[in-house]
Structure 1
């Protein structure tokens, strides 16, 4: 930088010297030409005066002698007279020497204006000049008295060739002196300039280096060098104070922002301001995300929103959301994007074997050995995150990457990704609690089956759907035979155990799409949704009765208890387009089953309606 400044300064000085020298040379040339023209005009005037004197004294025959004397003057190489056309007409053409010799003579005679031409070579320089002789009138010199001409006519001209080589030499000597003076001045200016500018240049270089470091995130103070003026020291002090403020502020901002939203693992940028800018952008996006999930009504909406963030912001292609209930030993695949969850076969039925859930730590692909024994895709890479969403319930997010570079990029962003997950966890937990609370209101506390309230709410959706899709629903009304005797003989604990066993058999016998409801006491309702016909419904009812009949219940001291049930069957919408009426019909059939000996299945028919009065 220093050499560049000195070079530029020297180039400016040389350019200035060339300009001054050129201007001086041009000025000397113009001055020399003007001086020569002035000298020529003086000689011409002397010739005119001598010519006039010879004419007055009537001794024109001596004019050549006079002209020869003038020609011998210093620097005069040639001199001749040119007679104009008017004078030649009056007095004759004169001698041959008085005729125009070239175009310049003829041009001056015609125009009456002086003309000159410079003849310049490496050695000699001369000026050829022709000055017109104009007719004048007045005291002292009245040309009109002797010549038959008008005022202002051109009588003739005086032509000279003057040698100006000596004048040129004087000019060149002046140029040499000027050039020497300029060179000396440049040297002096450069020397003094370096001494004067050196502290400024060093300060400028230090400022430039410090600013360059600041752009890359390194806020360094500049050092003090000898020769600094008071103003320069003051500038350096203010700059160093500014750098200290920048350094402390950027480090403080970066440290605090990382606490909010995390930071990249690899430290992709050494510039704290750039990293802080990135963190602030993520913090802003995170704030908007948090505001949105607070308005989501279900956990599925939150999962979908989180999925969009992973896909759109972090460009993740493959991942799965898994919910694990450690108490129930149940794993649920709630959302899947792309090609992921390659460990499904190993843990779907045994979720306690999931390493991320078991260790409550991240599980990621490691070189040379497998951190997760259940992940079987050799050409894929994985990273699993465990999040506590409630007591004994975990959210496992399984990320799968196609390449190691993609995995490294994911790990760089993992802190930012976790910030979104951590913001989602409380909202997901609230939704789970709300669902649990809602389920507790709709489920029987003893058996875990749905209760009558759920049936009332669910039937509002089920009936329109069944009518719209032409679905048959088999309605089974079940009642434990002689259940009161169990409570009286064995106690309510055994009675509760009998009801739980019945609930278990019902859930194991029907399909997942069917509904099992504890209607009250020892009475249950099973809705066979989408059953083909009454024969299939009858088959399911008989299967339930058979399993209950064959089931042995431990009572105490090795004693076993067997019970039976009575079942009434009605078909919706075959028997009635009202589900409530269909359930009443099933209840009538149940009464008929009990009344006719118990432990049997009775299909409802219209003839049984008359027995309703017996209730």
Structure 2
């Protein structure tokens, strides 16, 4: 620090000295040139007066002697006369010794105005000046008496070359003096800095070191100098020490509380607690925004997608999988798959209860010298699995996969913040599960697990406009178990419920996934064949159902078997009616026709069936 201050002072003095020297040299040069031009004008006036006097006294033969005497004046290197063209014409002869020597002479004779130029080297400077001799008519000098010219016309010129090198020599000497002054000033600065500035420089160095240490999380006091600095600096140092103590205590306290708040372990000793706290606060802020967003999401899928985006965009994770495991049903569902590394999918699909993370409720991490999870199939990859319980029966397993070990280590350092996002998502996921279960309970039949009549009413509000827009056919099958009351009367309601469950299973297994099976009420069921090609395909499905029911044997008790049949009525939308409620009514009419004509049959709705029902 001390060297920097001294160097800055030295540079400042040098710059100042150079500036003063340059300014002095410029002024000396400028003044010298002006002075030379002024002297040249004075000398030219002397020469003009002399020439006039010689002319009036008819002594022109002594002009050269007069000019020679003038040239002996101090600083005059050379002087000569230039005769103008009007004089040569008047006297009829040309004096070659008085012809213009250069362009400057010619220019002055042509313009009638004084001109000058400067010629200089490093050590010498000369000023060349040419002054015109213009014809005038004044009291003492009347050129027009002797010369046949117009007033103001140029008769000739006086050219002089003056040496002003002495001024430059003075400037060079001033450079020497200024250099000595500068060197002396530098010596004084160095001496004073050691005596006066040294305590301040040392204190500044201590401030600098302590601030750098504070950035690294090391807060230390400064030992206050006993002498050499002002009272204000002593007070400043004391205030700084108080600030460091307060800052250390406060930042460490904030850091500990933030770590405790999110369950994050403190970093290594010497880390900057302020930066760590800032990082934690930034993450908490982002976490809060994330929580607010997922509370507005409509479904679990939206929450999973949002969580996936956080993993990809914030934590730069490239390969991970979200797996839901229903423990009671031993069922696995992949809800998110990012990347191509689902390396335990085979085991998870066949026997999800073997998942180590789901079974132990703990994180499962790749190890260097042994295989933590025996079901992870890729030995050259690394993994980190964590388990989150989102309901009593459903666990969410998040499986992170890496190609390099350093990527796994980076995840370990971030896992606390990652889990914070997962933990914030868990309650919302549970709420969505409960809402789904509640919705399913409102729209499903408690006995058979099929959709109920309420679901049919709500679902057709969307299905029918879609079918009309896409020009889809819908086959409506209305089914009724034949003589079902007799089952309840003879075997009891438990067997009756079993018969209905068997029928629900047959229906669910016979139709496509895109079709809907609904328990309409009691022993009545409706099957919606969505997108069926024509009524022949619908009749084929209906006959297939009738055959399976007819062939199905139901255990009742003590090895006894029971077989039942169904009657089915078929109506087509929109062929039979553009109103879906009318189509259901038509299917019911066809069902009545099937039951009234012998049961265990499939009847296609026809218009004449309507009048027979009314008459009955």
CA distance in 1, matches of 2:599, 2:275: 81
* Change in CA separation of 1:109 and 1:571 when aligned onto 2, cut-off 3 Å: closer
Contact 1:266/1:412 (CA < 8 Å) preserved in 2?
A: no
Aligned to 1:216: 216
Aligned to 2:452: 451
CA distance in 1, matches of 2:213, 2:227: 25
Contact 1:322/1:396 (CA < 8 Å) preserved in 2?
A: yes
CA distance in 2, matches of 1:210, 1:109: 69
CA distance in 2, matches of 1:294, 1:308: 16
Question: SS of the counterpart of 2:527?
Answer: strand
Aligned to 2:406: 405
1:456-535 aligned at under 5 Å gives the runs 456-535=457-536
* Change in CA separation of 1:583 and 1:106 when aligned onto 2, cut-off 3 Å: closer
Aligned to 1:205: 205
Q: CA deviation at 1:315?
A: 2.1
Aligned to 1:360: 361
Q: CA deviation at 1:5?
A: 7.2
Contact 1:475/1:528 (CA < 8 Å) preserved in 2?
A: yes
Aligned to 1:569: 570
CA distance in 1, matches of 2:192, 2:301: 79
1:243-254 aligned at under 5 Å gives the runs 243-254=244-255
Q: CA deviation at 1:328?
A: 3.0
Aligned to 2:434: 433
Question: SS of the counterpart of 1:519?
Answer: strand
CA distance in 2, matches of 1:572, 1:109: 126
CA distance in 2, matches of 1:350, 1:265: 39
CA distance in 2, matches of 1:505, 1:380: 45
Farther-moved stretch of structure 1 (279-288 vs 445-454): 279-288
CA distance in 2, matches of 1:398, 1:476: 45
Q: CA deviation at 1:457?
A: 0.8
Contact 2:480/2:567 (CA < 8 Å) preserved in 1?
A: yes
Q: 1:455-509: CA deviations, max 9, x gaps?
A: 0111111122222223222222111121111211222222112211221222122
* Change in CA separation of 1:444 and 1:267 when aligned onto 2, cut-off 3 Å: farther
Question: SS of the counterpart of 2:390?
Answer: strand
* Change in CA separation of 1:511 and 1:108 when aligned onto 2, cut-off 3 Å: closer
Q: CA deviation at 1:516?
A: 0.7
* Change in CA separation of 1:527 and 1:205 when aligned onto 2, cut-off 3 Å: same
TM-score calculated relative to the size of structure 1 = 0.66
CA distance in 2, matches of 1:265, 1:367: 25
* Change in CA separation of 1:494 and 1:268 when aligned onto 2, cut-off 3 Å: farther
* Change in CA separation of 1:105 and 1:416 when aligned onto 2, cut-off 3 Å: same
Aligned to 1:22: none
1:61-76 aligned at under 5 Å gives the runs none
Q: 1:197-226: CA deviations, max 9, x gaps?
A: 665555443332211101222212234566
CA distance in 2, matches of 1:456, 1:256: 55
Contact 1:320/1:399 (CA < 8 Å) preserved in 2?
A: yes
Q: 1:414 aligned to 2:415?
A: yes
1:58-137 aligned at under 5 Å gives the runs 107=73
Contact 2:481/2:567 (CA < 8 Å) preserved in 1?
A: yes
Looking at CA atoms only, which structure, 1 or 2, has the larger radius of gyration? 1
* Change in CA separation of 1:268 and 1:555 when aligned onto 2, cut-off 3 Å: farther
1:267-346 aligned at under 5 Å gives the runs 270-346=271-347
Question: SS of the counterpart of 2:210?
Answer: helix
Contact 2:387/2:398 (CA < 8 Å) preserved in 1?
A: yes
CA distance in 2, matches of 1:605, 1:4: 107
Aligned to 2:397: 396
CA distance in 2, matches of 1:193, 1:578: 103
Q: CA deviation at 1:269?
A: 8.8
Farther-moved stretch of structure 1 (200-209 vs 274-283): 200-209
Contact 1:269/1:275 (CA < 8 Å) preserved in 2?
A: no
CA distance in 2, matches of 1:371, 1:540: 51
Contact 1:219/1:247 (CA < 8 Å) preserved in 2?
A: yes
Aligned to 2:554: 553
Q: 1:124-157: CA deviations, max 9, x gaps?
A: xxxxxxxxxxxxxxxxxxxxxxxxxxxxxxxxxx
Calculate the aligned-residue CA RMSD, in Å: 3.9
Q: CA deviation at 1:517?
A: 0.4
Q: 1:519-541: CA deviations, max 9, x gaps?
A: 00011111122223333323322
* Change in CA separation of 1:568 and 1:234 when aligned onto 2, cut-off 3 Å: same
* Change in CA separation of 1:450 and 1:614 when aligned onto 2, cut-off 3 Å: farther
Question: SS of the counterpart of 1:390?
Answer: coil
Aligned to 1:147: none
Question: SS of the counterpart of 1:413?
Answer: helix
CA distance in 1, matches of 2:527, 2:563: 21
Contact 1:324/1:396 (CA < 8 Å) preserved in 2?
A: yes
Q: 1:382 aligned to 2:379?
A: no
Contact 2:256/2:266 (CA < 8 Å) preserved in 1?
A: no
CA distance in 2, matches of 1:427, 1:268: 37
Query: Alignment length, in residue pairs?
Result: 463
Aligned to 2:374: 373
CA distance in 1, matches of 2:475, 2:547: 18
CA distance in 2, matches of 1:272, 1:265: 9
Q: CA deviation at 1:444?
A: 0.9
Q: CA deviation at 1:387?
A: 1.9
CA distance in 2, matches of 1:498, 1:2: 100
Question: SS of the counterpart of 2:528?
Answer: strand
TM-score calculated relative to the size of structure 2 = 0.66
